[in-house]
């Protein structure tokens, strides 16, 4: 088998030599050059499995090299060599498409970890394994809406580099699921995925939880303990509810991320850690930064790339597929038949806003399965709270009631929840059709449902 090849671009001879020796010991064949011009030439003459480039070069910069490789050799991972503590350069490199970065002075152990991860990525791509896995695991992310397709495509891209990703979105939208998929579809898949709920760790235990401690370092530390960073070695650390980190911990975390090393409490030495950081919160982190409750430098560091998972009400076309998926999973757990939604139940879900997003849909369906007779779930089994019915569905009905001088329709007065909901739907649909001059495509868009769903509803509600 041919040895794997690496191109090193750095104008400092010491760095070139260090990398050549270290990578050579890993049985890699290394070409080392000192300028962008020489790099261009080398890249034109042969293809490499991996590239390291310095930021500042005599005739240009590393950013140019990253862009050149992204354009001509999109499958080649590039790692940036940055000056110690130069967060801006590291962040810019990751944004430009660098796979990862190493800061000077280069830590050999860390370098080896990075090389192994990068080459695993190359190998997976070559064997087509990455693509197969992508399909497998993205099957778990249900939803065909344009918004979800976009999220799925972004996950695939983000899985391939090592940049920290900040996953934004309301509670229950699927942020943790997205984080898991980024991990599983990338070269760290065989390493651990360690989720941490930052809001659940008592402030005084946080440092020990994250970085570990040495026996005897404080009262109660009776044995050496490994921290979460060490537990995630070679894999991914998912910082859920990252906004809950106290400020003193934010400083320590920033340091660990920047230096890729941690020092256990009571320990003398720093331990290098090769961990990818993903984080999430349902809070507005940008706003917390403005209010001084979250450190700007940490925000900048973990938010190299932001992925927003939209709330369910912005992709309500996904509700039927999600419901079917959840009902199947519930049947698998209980051993009963797969629950089916009655048409009225489907309409009721369609009119609901899901403030608790997919997790709420799971809870609603689980409760409904317990409530319903047999396997058919009716609208009343869903027990939807009225607060969540879409404003655009309720308001027109109220207008009409007011215009007609009647009291607002209530479920009990009008022959049950189904009729009540159908009336709300009819009013909302007619209003949307009028406002869009009877253009069904535009009306469906206004209502936030698919064209097919609108056609179905028009037929069901007897609207011509």
Ligand X SMILES: Nc1ncnc2c1ncn2[C@@H]1O[C@H](COP(=O)(O)OP(=O)(O)OP(=O)(O)O)[C@@H](O)[C@H]1O
State the DSSP H helix or E strand holding residue 132, giving kind and residue range, or none if neither: helix 129-138
Residues of this chain, 225-284, that bind ligand X according to CB under 6 A: 240, 282
Does 173 interact with ligand X (rule: CB under 6 A)?
yes
Does 169 interact with ligand X (rule: CB under 6 A)?
yes
Please choose, out of 37-45, 138-146, 409-417, 442-450, the segment that lies near ligand X by the rule CB under 6 A: 138-146
Nearer to ligand X, 173 or 417 (CB): 173
Does 324 interact with ligand X (rule: CB under 6 A)?
no
Least Cβ distance, residue 196 to ligand X (angstroms): 12
Nearer to ligand X, 42 or 177 (CB): 177
Does 77 interact with ligand X (rule: CB under 6 A)?
no
Q: Is the peptide bond before 105 cis (omega within 30 degrees of 0)?
A: yes
Of 87, 106, 142, 442, the one binding ligand X by CB under 6 A: 142
The contact mask relative to ligand X for 277-316 (x = CB under 6 A, - = no) is -----x----------------------------------
Least Cβ distance, residue 147 to ligand X (angstroms): 10
Q: What is the DSSP string of 17-50?
A: HHHHHHHHHTT-EEEEESSHHHHHHHHHH---SE
Of 16, 104, 120, 175, the one binding ligand X by CB under 6 A: 175
Residue 52, SS3 per DSSP: strand
Cβ-closest position to ligand X: 174
Of 34, 172, 227, 396, the one binding ligand X by CB under 6 A: 172
Intra-chain end-to-end CA distance of the chain, in Å: 70
Q: What is the DSSP string of 196-246?
A: EEGGGS-GGGHHHHHHEE-TTSSTT--S-EE-HHHHTTTSEEEEETGGGS-
Number of residues that bind ligand X (CB under 6 A): 18
Residues forming beta bridges with residue 238, ordered by sequence position: 195, 278
Nearer to ligand X, 99 or 325 (CB): 325
For residue 464 the two structure tokens come to 């011509």
Q: Are 112 and 26 in contact (CB under 8 A)?
A: yes
Alpha helices in 335-383 (DSSP H): 343-350, 357-371, 379-382
- The alpha carbon of 68 is separated from its chain's Cα centroid by a whole number of angstroms, namely 28
Those residues with Cβ within 8 angstroms of residue 219's Cβ, 6 or more apart along the chain or in another chain: none
Does 143 interact with ligand X (rule: CB under 6 A)?
yes
Of 77, 97, 130, 174, the one binding ligand X by CB under 6 A: 174
- The alpha carbon of 291 is separated from its chain's Cα centroid by a whole number of angstroms, namely 25
Those residues with Cβ within 8 angstroms of residue 405's Cβ, 6 or more apart along the chain or in another chain: none
**Alpha-carbon torsion, ordered 168, 275, 36, 22, to 10 deg:** 180
Of 358, 377, 393, 417, the one binding ligand X by CB under 6 A: 358
Of 171, 258, 340, 450, the one binding ligand X by CB under 6 A: 171
Does 362 interact with ligand X (rule: CB under 6 A)?
yes
Nearer to ligand X, 141 or 409 (CB): 141
- Other CB atoms within 10 A of residue 290 CB: 11
Please choose, out of 135-143, 158-166, 420-428, 438-446, the segment that lies near ligand X by the rule CB under 6 A: 135-143
Nearer to ligand X, 81 or 326 (CB): 326
Does 144 interact with ligand X (rule: CB under 6 A)?
no
Does 198 interact with ligand X (rule: CB under 6 A)?
no
Does 329 interact with ligand X (rule: CB under 6 A)?
no
Closest CA relative to residue 165, chosen from 178, 152, 150? 178
Please choose, out of 19-27, 71-79, 356-364, 401-409, the segment that lies near ligand X by the rule CB under 6 A: 356-364
Binding site for ligand X (CB under 6 A): 141-143, 169, 171-177, 240, 282, 322, 325, 358-359, 362
């Amino acid at each position: 088998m041919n040895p794997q090849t690496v191109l090193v671009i750095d104008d400092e001879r010491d760095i070139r030599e260090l990398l050549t020796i270290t990578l050579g010991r890993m049985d890699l064949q290394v070409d080392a050059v000192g300028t962008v011009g020489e790099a261009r030439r080398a890249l034109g003459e042969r293809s490499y499995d991996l590239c390291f480039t310095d930021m500042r070069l005599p005739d240009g910069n590393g950013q140019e090299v990253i862009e050149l490789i992204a354009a001509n050799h999109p499958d080649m991972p590039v790692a940036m060599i940055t000056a110690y503590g130069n967060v801006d350069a590291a962040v810019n490199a990751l944004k430009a498409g660098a796979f990862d970065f190493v800061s000077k002075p280069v830590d050999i152990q860390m370098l080896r970890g990075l090389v192994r991860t990068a080459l695993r990525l190359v190998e997976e791509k070559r064997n087509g394994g990455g693509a197969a896995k992508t399909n497998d695991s993205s099957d778990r992310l249900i939803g065909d809406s344009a918004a979800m397709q976009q999220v799925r495509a972004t996950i695939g891209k983000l899985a391939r580099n090592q940049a920290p990703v900040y996953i934004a979105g309301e509670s229950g939208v699927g942020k943790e699921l997205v984080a898991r998929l980024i991990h599983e579809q990338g070269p760290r898949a065989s390493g651990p995925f360690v989720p941490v709920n930052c809001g659940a760790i008592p402030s005084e235990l946080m440092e020990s939880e994250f970085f570990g401690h040495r026996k005897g370092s404080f009262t109660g530390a009776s044995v050496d303990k490994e921290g979460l960073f060490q537990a995630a070695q070679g894999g991914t650390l998912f910082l859920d509810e990252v906004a809950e980190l106290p400020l003193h911990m934010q400083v320590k975390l920033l340091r660990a991320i920047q230096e890729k090393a941690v020092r256990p409490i009571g320990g003398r030495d720093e331990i290098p850690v090769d961990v990818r950081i993903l984080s999430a919160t349902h809070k507005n982190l940008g706003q917390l930064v403005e209010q001084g409750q979250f450190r700007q430098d940490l925000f900048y560091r973990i938010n190299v790339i932001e992925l927003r998972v939209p709330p369910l009400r912005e992709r309500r076309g996904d509700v039927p597929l999600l419901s079917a998926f959840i009902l199947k999973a519930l049947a698998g757990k209980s051993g009963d038949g797969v629950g089916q939604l009655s048409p009225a139940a489907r309409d009721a879900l369609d009119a609901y806003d899901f403030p608790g997003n997919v997790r709420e849909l799971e809870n609603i369906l689980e409760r409904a399965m317990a409530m319903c007779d047999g396997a058919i779930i009716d609208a009343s089994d869903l027990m939807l709270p009225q607060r969540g019915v879409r404003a655009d569905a309720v308001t027109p009905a109220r207008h009409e009631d007011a215009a007609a001088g009647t009291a607002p329709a209530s479920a009990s007065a009008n022959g049950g929840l189904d009729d009540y909901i159908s009336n709300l739907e009819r009013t909302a649909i007619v209003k949307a059709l009028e406002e869009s001059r009877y253009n069904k495509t535009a009306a469906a868009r206004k209502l936030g449902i698919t064209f097919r769903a609108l056609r179905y509803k028009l037929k069901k509600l007897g609207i011509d």
